[in-house]
Amino acid sequence: MTNYPNQQADSDQLRQLYGLQFLVALFALAQIGTSYQLWLPQSQFPQVPVIHGFVWPGALAWTLLGVMVLGLLGQLIDSLRGQLSKRFSLLFLLSAGSLLLEDQHRAQPWMIHYLWISLWILIGPPRRTLTLVLVLTTSLYAYSAISKANFMFLEQHGQVILSGLFRSLSLDLNRIPETIRRLLIAIFPVGEFLLAIGLLIPGTRRLAACLSLIMHGLLILTFSSRGLNHEWSVLLWNGFFLFQAFWLWCLPKQVLQLKNDVPESSQLRYDKLLICWIVFFWSFPLLRLTGHLDQWLGWSLYSPRAVVVRVLLAKPPTQIADNFPPFTNDPYRWIEGDAGPLVFVSDRWSINQLHVPLNPEPRLEIAVAWALCEKYNCWEDLIVVVEQRNLMSPTDRKAEQFTGQTELKELRRQFLLPTQSNHRFLDNNGQHQ
């Protein structure tokens, strides 16, 4: 049988899509496995639902988790059989979306990324799906770069990443002059932005994709046990981008081609829908700049925050409650010597219990503080500090302190989404207030 050019293009696109579906299913299963406590109906860390007080019954929560895993396994098997797994993609979307309703913390950036791709596999033809994956990836690189284009990243967050990279390579960062350090740190956002542009241009796409392999390989080294020792979910997500770039844009000779046998009117409607998706993904993260979108959902990754919430304890935790909180002392850090106050590092608590970082939003930090006060009746012993930072001038900061049930309640009213955990955390040897 003769393969005409448009038929060969369709075949190439389907083969690429099978591989992409395989990567999504494989890495999603691996990341859910390494952070399985997050997806269980657990009571060790506050679950903050999207709807106030919402919680799935235990048996139904376990069923949804099983359906999510089944959906991913189905996608994995169908990919190996050379099939697009629309029914299993639907199972994954419905079950994962249902579990997100119960806990905002489950909206990890990698999960949102996989949900978008699964949605496109479900509803779109191969050409549209592959185009949108390209748009999503380039917008992620671009907005991640924009979020790092400030002095605070240059002086703080970037220094941490650079130190992790040098440590993983067994190099001594102290031997590098400060000017060279700043130059190396500035390469991070500039490189991400250039990769985004390079991927958008067909003539430079393969080169940009090959360079992205190097970038994600270095990030894996940086966040590995040899460097900053981050959680496996972070390493695996960088691994996904590495294999995605290799499969879609480094390996194939032809990436995206239009069908020539589609009627003109249908092609016009098809392009209009594609343009709407593209406009959405290039404009949606701009809401992050106005403060109306979570940092992770705006693709501001590994970047500093303009608003930071810190939880302080006015006295040692043993004087608050015998089991305050129910984990090791790792999340504590003294900031004024042995006299206190004591910083309660919520992110370490999340990593300790759930093996994922806490969503870096004031809303979630305040929800953690409120849950602790509710459970241990420590309204006067816990202080919430909300710090406004000028990212272009790290020393320019304004801080407000809130303590007591009345002040914390006023603080919570600033947010549209709920900032109160469901009953699971409170019912775990605790009581409602």
Could you give the CA distance from residue 280 to residue 132 in angstroms, rounded to a whole number? 11
**pTM, full prediction:** 0.88
Residue 391 is given by DSSP the state: T
Query: Do 139 and 285 meet the contact criterion of CB atoms below 8 Å apart?
Result: yes
- pLDDT band for position 305 (cuts 50, 70, 90): confident
> What pLDDT, in 10s, does the model give residues 139-175?
999 999 999 999 899 888 899 999 999 999 999 888 8
- pLDDT band for position 127 (cuts 50, 70, 90): confident
Query: Do 333 and 391 meet the contact criterion of CB atoms below 8 Å apart?
Result: no
> What pLDDT, in 10s, does the model give residues 43-92?
989 999 999 989 999 999 999 999 999 999 999 999 999 888 899 999 99
Where do the DSSP E strands lie in 294-427? 307-313, 332-334, 342-344, 382-390, 393-403
Length of the chain (residues): 433
Per cent of the chain over pLDDT 90 is: 56
Maximum Cα–Cα distance across the chain: 82
316-325, 362-371, 406-415: least confidently modelled range: 316-325
Residues ≥6 apart with Cβ < 8 Å to 296 = 107, 108, 109, 112, 359, 360
Query: Do 106 and 99 meet the contact criterion of CB atoms below 8 Å apart?
Result: yes
Query: Do 253 and 209 meet the contact criterion of CB atoms below 8 Å apart?
Result: no
Residues ≥6 apart with Cβ < 8 Å to 289 = 298
The whole-number pLDDT of residue 355 equals 92
8-12, 153-157, 241-245, 300-304: least confidently modelled range: 8-12
